[in-house]
Copies of this chain bind each other. A is one copy, B any other.
Amino acid sequence: MKKPLILVTNDDGINAPGIKALVEAAKEFGEVVVVAPDSPQSGQGHAITISKPVWIKKVEVFDGIDSYECSGTPVDCVKLAQYVILKGRKADLCISGINHGSNASINIIYSGTMSAAMEASLEGIESIGFSLLDFSWSADFNPAKKIAKQIIQQVLEKGMGSCKLLNVNIPNVPEEDIKGIKICRQADGRWLEGYQESTDPRGKPYYWLSGEFVNPDKGTDTDIWALDNGYVSVVPSGHDLTKYDSLLQMNYLESSRIRDIDKVDV
Protein backbone atom coordinates (compact mmCIF):
# COMPACT_ATOMS: atom_id res chain seq x y z
CA MET A 1 0.00 0.00 0.00
CA LYS A 2 1.14 3.51 -0.82
CA LYS A 3 2.18 5.40 2.28
CA PRO A 4 -0.45 7.96 3.24
CA LEU A 5 0.31 11.66 2.94
CA ILE A 6 -0.36 13.32 6.30
CA LEU A 7 -0.69 17.07 6.67
CA VAL A 8 0.13 18.33 10.16
CA THR A 9 -0.86 21.78 11.40
CA ASN A 10 -1.81 23.54 14.62
CA ASP A 11 -2.69 26.93 16.07
CA ASP A 12 -0.04 27.30 18.77
CA GLY A 13 2.65 27.84 16.13
CA ILE A 14 5.25 25.60 14.53
CA ASN A 15 7.56 25.85 17.56
CA ALA A 16 5.00 24.66 20.12
CA PRO A 17 5.76 21.37 21.90
CA GLY A 18 2.34 19.96 21.00
CA ILE A 19 2.95 19.89 17.26
CA LYS A 20 6.29 18.15 17.80
CA ALA A 21 4.48 15.30 19.56
CA LEU A 22 1.98 15.07 16.71
CA VAL A 23 4.69 15.02 14.05
CA GLU A 24 6.42 12.21 15.93
CA ALA A 25 3.16 10.27 16.09
CA ALA A 26 2.36 10.86 12.42
CA LYS A 27 5.72 10.07 10.85
CA GLU A 28 5.40 6.40 11.74
CA PHE A 29 2.36 6.12 9.47
CA GLY A 30 3.33 7.88 6.29
CA GLU A 31 4.82 10.88 4.55
CA VAL A 32 4.41 13.96 6.73
CA VAL A 33 4.23 17.58 5.59
CA VAL A 34 3.96 20.30 8.25
CA VAL A 35 2.39 23.67 7.47
CA ALA A 36 1.82 25.70 10.62
CA PRO A 37 1.60 29.32 11.74
CA ASP A 38 4.83 31.17 12.46
CA SER A 39 3.33 32.53 15.69
CA PRO A 40 0.64 31.53 18.20
CA GLN A 41 -2.86 31.82 16.74
CA SER A 42 -5.08 30.64 19.58
CA GLY A 43 -8.64 31.88 19.43
CA GLN A 44 -8.43 32.64 15.72
CA GLY A 45 -11.45 30.46 14.99
CA HIS A 46 -12.10 30.15 11.29
CA ALA A 47 -10.41 33.45 10.44
CA ILE A 48 -8.83 33.74 6.99
CA THR A 49 -6.49 36.41 5.68
CA ILE A 50 -8.12 38.20 2.76
CA SER A 51 -7.17 41.88 3.00
CA LYS A 52 -3.43 41.26 2.72
CA PRO A 53 -1.12 38.55 1.38
CA VAL A 54 0.49 35.75 3.35
CA TRP A 55 4.07 34.46 3.28
CA ILE A 56 5.42 30.92 3.45
CA LYS A 57 8.90 29.95 4.64
CA LYS A 58 10.47 26.50 4.42
CA VAL A 59 11.98 25.73 7.81
CA GLU A 60 14.06 23.01 9.45
CA VAL A 61 12.14 22.25 12.61
CA PHE A 62 11.57 18.50 12.51
CA ASP A 63 14.32 16.13 11.38
CA GLY A 64 13.70 14.88 7.87
CA ILE A 65 10.19 16.33 7.68
CA ASP A 66 9.14 18.87 5.03
CA SER A 67 8.05 21.84 7.12
CA TYR A 68 6.71 25.28 6.32
CA GLU A 69 5.77 28.19 8.52
CA CYS A 70 3.17 30.62 7.35
CA SER A 71 2.33 34.20 8.34
CA GLY A 72 -1.41 33.58 8.32
CA THR A 73 -4.05 31.89 10.44
CA PRO A 74 -4.40 28.13 10.95
CA VAL A 75 -7.07 28.02 8.23
CA ASP A 76 -4.72 29.90 5.88
CA CYS A 77 -2.09 27.22 6.57
CA VAL A 78 -4.41 24.47 5.39
CA LYS A 79 -5.47 26.40 2.28
CA LEU A 80 -1.81 27.15 1.43
CA ALA A 81 -0.85 23.54 2.05
CA GLN A 82 -3.46 22.25 -0.36
CA TYR A 83 -3.26 24.91 -3.06
CA VAL A 84 0.38 26.02 -2.99
CA ILE A 85 2.67 23.61 -1.12
CA LEU A 86 1.14 20.26 -2.09
CA LYS A 87 0.08 21.71 -5.45
CA GLY A 88 -2.93 19.51 -5.89
CA ARG A 89 -1.56 16.35 -4.23
CA LYS A 90 -4.40 15.67 -1.84
CA ALA A 91 -3.48 14.75 1.72
CA ASP A 92 -4.95 11.46 2.95
CA LEU A 93 -5.24 12.73 6.48
CA CYS A 94 -4.94 16.09 8.22
CA ILE A 95 -4.08 16.23 11.90
CA SER A 96 -4.06 19.43 13.90
CA GLY A 97 -2.57 20.07 17.32
CA ILE A 98 -1.76 18.79 19.80
CA ASN A 99 -3.43 21.90 21.15
CA HIS A 100 -2.41 23.25 24.53
CA GLY A 101 -5.82 23.47 26.22
CA SER A 102 -9.35 22.16 25.73
CA ASN A 103 -11.29 22.35 22.50
CA ALA A 104 -14.26 20.47 23.89
CA SER A 105 -17.82 21.81 23.83
CA ILE A 106 -18.22 25.34 22.44
CA ASN A 107 -14.43 25.82 22.32
CA ILE A 108 -14.54 24.17 18.89
CA ILE A 109 -15.87 27.39 17.35
CA TYR A 110 -13.15 29.62 18.83
CA SER A 111 -10.36 27.15 18.13
CA GLY A 112 -7.78 27.65 15.41
CA THR A 113 -6.76 24.01 15.87
CA MET A 114 -10.24 22.72 15.10
CA SER A 115 -10.89 25.30 12.38
CA ALA A 116 -7.74 24.17 10.55
CA ALA A 117 -8.92 20.57 10.75
CA MET A 118 -12.40 21.61 9.63
CA GLU A 119 -10.96 23.47 6.65
CA ALA A 120 -9.20 20.30 5.51
CA SER A 121 -12.42 18.35 6.04
CA LEU A 122 -14.19 20.75 3.66
CA GLU A 123 -11.73 19.57 1.01
CA GLY A 124 -12.89 16.02 1.68
CA ILE A 125 -9.78 15.17 3.70
CA GLU A 126 -10.34 13.08 6.82
CA SER A 127 -9.20 15.36 9.62
CA ILE A 128 -8.59 15.10 13.32
CA GLY A 129 -7.93 17.85 15.85
CA PHE A 130 -6.14 16.79 19.04
CA SER A 131 -6.11 18.81 22.25
CA LEU A 132 -4.62 18.14 25.67
CA LEU A 133 -6.30 19.81 28.63
CA ASP A 134 -3.04 21.30 29.86
CA PHE A 135 -2.01 24.85 29.01
CA SER A 136 1.52 24.38 30.28
CA TRP A 137 4.27 24.66 27.68
CA SER A 138 6.05 21.89 29.63
CA ALA A 139 3.04 19.55 29.58
CA ASP A 140 3.82 15.85 29.18
CA PHE A 141 2.64 15.01 25.66
CA ASN A 142 3.65 11.34 25.80
CA PRO A 143 0.26 9.89 26.75
CA ALA A 144 -1.40 12.21 24.21
CA LYS A 145 1.04 11.03 21.55
CA LYS A 146 0.18 7.40 22.30
CA ILE A 147 -3.54 8.19 22.04
CA ALA A 148 -3.00 10.07 18.78
CA LYS A 149 -1.18 7.04 17.35
CA GLN A 150 -3.96 4.71 18.38
CA ILE A 151 -6.63 6.89 16.75
CA ILE A 152 -4.59 7.68 13.62
CA GLN A 153 -3.89 3.99 13.05
CA GLN A 154 -7.54 3.04 13.33
CA VAL A 155 -8.74 5.90 11.14
CA LEU A 156 -6.18 5.12 8.42
CA GLU A 157 -7.28 1.49 8.55
CA LYS A 158 -11.06 1.86 8.76
CA GLY A 159 -11.77 5.34 7.37
CA MET A 160 -14.37 7.80 8.61
CA GLY A 161 -17.18 7.28 6.11
CA SER A 162 -19.30 10.36 5.63
CA CYS A 163 -17.71 12.02 8.66
CA LYS A 164 -14.60 14.00 7.83
CA LEU A 165 -13.78 15.65 11.17
CA LEU A 166 -13.03 14.41 14.67
CA ASN A 167 -12.57 16.59 17.73
CA VAL A 168 -10.33 14.66 20.14
CA ASN A 169 -9.70 15.98 23.64
CA ILE A 170 -7.42 14.33 26.16
CA PRO A 171 -7.87 14.79 29.91
CA ASN A 172 -5.01 16.15 31.96
CA VAL A 173 -4.50 13.10 34.16
CA PRO A 174 -1.65 10.63 34.49
CA GLU A 175 -1.68 8.00 31.73
CA GLU A 176 -2.65 5.20 34.08
CA ASP A 177 -5.77 7.11 35.10
CA ILE A 178 -7.11 7.47 31.54
CA LYS A 179 -10.12 5.19 31.45
CA GLY A 180 -10.38 4.86 27.69
CA ILE A 181 -11.81 6.58 24.62
CA LYS A 182 -15.45 7.64 24.24
CA ILE A 183 -17.43 8.80 21.21
CA CYS A 184 -19.44 11.83 22.37
CA ARG A 185 -21.61 14.70 21.32
CA GLN A 186 -20.52 18.33 21.81
CA ALA A 187 -21.66 19.55 25.26
CA ASP A 188 -23.83 22.66 25.20
CA GLY A 189 -21.51 24.75 27.37
CA ARG A 190 -20.32 28.31 26.90
CA TRP A 191 -18.02 30.98 28.27
CA LEU A 192 -19.16 33.31 30.98
CA GLU A 193 -16.83 36.19 30.27
CA GLY A 194 -15.11 38.74 32.32
CA TYR A 195 -12.87 41.60 31.32
CA GLN A 196 -9.82 42.76 33.16
CA GLU A 197 -10.13 46.53 32.98
CA SER A 198 -7.10 48.75 33.26
CA THR A 199 -5.51 51.87 31.79
CA ASP A 200 -2.79 51.88 29.15
CA PRO A 201 0.36 54.06 29.31
CA ARG A 202 -1.46 56.78 27.34
CA GLY A 203 -4.29 56.90 29.84
CA LYS A 204 -6.84 55.05 27.72
CA PRO A 205 -8.92 52.37 29.38
CA TYR A 206 -8.47 48.90 27.95
CA TYR A 207 -10.23 45.58 28.37
CA TRP A 208 -8.58 42.16 28.40
CA LEU A 209 -10.70 39.09 27.97
CA SER A 210 -10.84 36.59 30.79
CA GLY A 211 -13.65 34.22 31.47
CA GLU A 212 -14.90 30.99 32.88
CA PHE A 213 -16.31 27.98 31.07
CA VAL A 214 -19.74 26.91 32.29
CA ASN A 215 -21.59 23.78 31.30
CA PRO A 216 -25.27 23.53 32.14
CA ASP A 217 -25.48 20.42 29.88
CA LYS A 218 -25.62 17.49 32.29
CA GLY A 219 -25.78 14.74 29.64
CA THR A 220 -23.49 11.76 30.21
CA ASP A 221 -23.02 11.45 26.45
CA THR A 222 -21.06 14.71 26.11
CA ASP A 223 -17.38 15.45 25.63
CA ILE A 224 -17.28 17.40 28.88
CA TRP A 225 -18.71 14.47 30.82
CA ALA A 226 -16.16 12.12 29.26
CA LEU A 227 -13.24 14.41 30.09
CA ASP A 228 -14.49 15.03 33.63
CA ASN A 229 -14.63 11.27 34.11
CA GLY A 230 -11.15 10.45 32.84
CA TYR A 231 -11.98 9.52 29.25
CA VAL A 232 -10.57 10.80 25.99
CA SER A 233 -13.51 12.42 24.15
CA VAL A 234 -13.97 12.03 20.40
CA VAL A 235 -16.74 14.11 18.80
CA PRO A 236 -17.53 13.31 15.15
CA SER A 237 -18.09 16.81 13.80
CA GLY A 238 -19.31 18.59 10.69
CA HIS A 239 -19.79 22.05 9.27
CA ASP A 240 -23.56 22.22 8.88
CA LEU A 241 -24.90 24.76 11.35
CA THR A 242 -28.54 24.40 10.25
CA LYS A 243 -30.80 23.90 13.25
CA TYR A 244 -33.04 21.36 11.59
CA ASP A 245 -35.47 21.09 14.49
CA SER A 246 -36.29 24.78 14.05
CA LEU A 247 -37.09 24.72 10.32
CA LEU A 248 -40.78 24.21 10.94
CA GLN A 249 -41.02 26.55 13.88
CA MET A 250 -39.47 29.43 11.99
CA ASN A 251 -41.56 29.04 8.85
CA TYR A 252 -43.84 31.82 10.03
CA LEU A 253 -41.22 34.05 8.39
CA GLU A 254 -41.93 32.61 4.96
CA SER A 255 -43.61 35.13 2.74
CA SER A 256 -44.35 35.57 -0.91
CA ARG A 257 -43.89 39.31 -0.74
CA ILE A 258 -41.89 42.03 0.95
CA ARG A 259 -44.19 44.23 2.93
CA ASP A 260 -43.78 47.91 3.53
CA ILE A 261 -43.82 48.40 7.25
CA ASP A 262 -44.84 52.02 7.50
CA LYS A 263 -46.03 52.07 11.02
CA VAL A 264 -44.08 50.01 13.47
CA ASP A 265 -46.11 48.80 16.39
CA VAL A 266 -44.49 46.31 18.70
Q: Which residues of A contact B (CB under 8 A)?
A: 1, 4, 28-30, 40, 42-56, 73, 75-76, 79-80, 82-84, 106, 108-110, 115, 118, 122-123, 143, 146-147, 149-151, 153-158, 160-163, 165-167, 175, 178-183, 185-186, 188, 190-191, 193-198, 200, 204-209, 232, 234-247, 249-261, 264, 266
Contacts and interface: CB of A to CB of B under 8 A. Distances in A.
Contacts of A243: 162-163, 165, 236-238
- Chain A interface helix/strand/loop/mixed: mixed
A161 B251 CA distance: 12
13 contacts: A40-B51, A45-B45, A45-B46, A45-B48, A47-B47, A53-B200, A55-B205, A76-B209, A82-B193, A161-B246, A178-B258, A180-B258, A183-B247
B122 A106 contact: yes
Centre residue among A1, A198, A240 by max chain B CB count within 10 A: A240
Given A56-B207, A238-B241, A259 B109 contact: no
B207 A254 contact: no
B246 A242 contact: no
A198 to B, nearest CB: 8
A261 B148 CA distance: 10
Contacts of A232: 258
Nearest to A186: B242
Q: How many copies does the complex hold?
A: 2
A4 to B, nearest CB: 7
B181 A254 contact: yes
Contacts of A42: 50-51
A1 to B, nearest CB: 7
A179 B40 contact: no
Name the 9 nearest CB pairs between A and B, nearest first.
A45-B46, A163-B246, A236-B246, A53-B206, A238-B243, A180-B256, A47-B47, A53-B208, A45-B45
Contacts of A186: 240-242
A163 B75 CA distance: 28
Nearest to A168: B253
Nearest to A4: B266
Contacts of A46: 45-47, 109-110, 115
B255 A181 contact: yes
Given A185-B244, A195-B83, A258 B48 contact: no
Contacts of A157: 266
